[in-house]
Amino acid sequence: MTPFRAVAAYVPQGAVALALGMAGAVFRPRPGLADFRLALCAERPGPVPTDLGAPLAVEHDLTALAAADLVLVLPGTAPPDGPGAPVLAALRDAHRRGATVAAHCAGVFVLAAAGLLEGRRVTTHWQYAAELARRYPGLAVDPDALYIDGGDVVTGAGAAAGMDLYLHLVRREHGAALANELARTLVVPPHRDGGQRQYVAAPVPADGDGERLADLLAWARDHLDQRLTVDALAARALMSRRSFIRHFRAATGATPHAWLVAQRLDRAEELLETTDLGVEEVAGRAGFGSAAVLRERFARRRGTSPRAYRRTFART
């Protein structure tokens, strides 16, 4: 598969301007960096209402979908009852032809209506997840993921998760270097991991669980360089391992170990950005057993190596 160049974005009635802007920002042509061509299209060219109130003048009709390697369905302000049959047919054609098809938020409903999601694991905005699952029982809806890459079909969460989704697509087909460069230009994190659960519940629940865990989390962050096991943390929280894991999940949305690794990566990135300690030393201070482990986790989160990350993000 050759990396996409021609990108077509279907703009629905009542398009969410935020998503529109993000797609425009990521897939804008950048001389010397990326020769993306982004075509905004609608069933009929002309003004399309947006959630800003002001309409957007859309230039292309659905023939733009036929020429695209990557087709985005932008979200509208609410799950649509279904755009016209011509739109659904054009999406199916693009997919059959081999184009990658992607949508997030309310846009996922359009892909579902086109029948492109049947039997797949997909995600959407957490507020829409139940509705999506109800309307399309053939889908496995994961309300926690930020995006799910199904290869030829990719789905993403709420409006702002479009940035994660779009950058992911760039990373997948054009490499981490370009994705990181775009992220840096746009001043957004090159990659967020973890699901959207952290955005579903309050970050620190006001009820007992979050309160009691907050101290423990702060303590753990202060001792990241030490070997921390789940059993030790549970003991500190005066809970059995089993209950601790349950409470931890409920309060943070992550499992204890996953949370620890995420904290350690945060620490490592901070050290890489603000110090010139060697990778070995950074790994030690962040609590990784070795530089090899750090490199491996780093690749998984950022798609790059610690040194490459430093070269791009070091504050000098």
**Contact positions vs DNA (CB under 7 A):** 229-231, 239-243, 245-247, 249, 255-258, 261, 288-290, 292-293, 296-297
Among candidate residues 249, 256, 244, the one with its CA nearest the CA of residue 197: 249
Nearer Cβ to DNA (130/235): 235
CB of 238 to DNA, least distance (A): 8
CB of 172 to DNA, least distance (A): 20
Nearer Cβ to DNA (60/241): 241
Nearer Cβ to DNA (242/315): 242
Residue 3's region, left for phi above 0, alpha for psi from -120 to 50, else beta, is: beta
CB of 173 to DNA, least distance (A): 22
The DSSP symbol for 225 reads T
Nearer Cβ to DNA (240/274): 240
CA distances to 17, 48, 91, 128 from 72, in Å: 14, 16, 10, 19
Euclidean distance between CA atoms 132 and 136, whole angstroms: 6
Nearer Cβ to DNA (117/233): 233
Return the exposure string of 145-161: e unless at least 16 CB atoms fall within 10 Å of the residue's CB, then b.
Answer: bbbbbbeebbbbbbbbb
CB of 258 to DNA, least distance (A): 5
CB of 293 to DNA, least distance (A): 5
CB of 41 to DNA, least distance (A): 40
CA distances to 78, 80, 253 from 144, in Å: 20, 22, 9
Nearer Cβ to DNA (104/264): 264
7 DSSP β-pair partners:
38, 70
- Residues contacting 251, CB < 8 A, separation 6+: 204, 205, 209, 210, 213
Return the exposure string of 260-277: e unless at least 16 CB atoms fall within 10 Å of the residue's CB, then b.
Answer: bbbbbbebbbebbeeeee
Euclidean distance between CA atoms 250 and 244, whole angstroms: 10
Nearer Cβ to DNA (101/261): 261
CB of 218 to DNA, least distance (A): 19
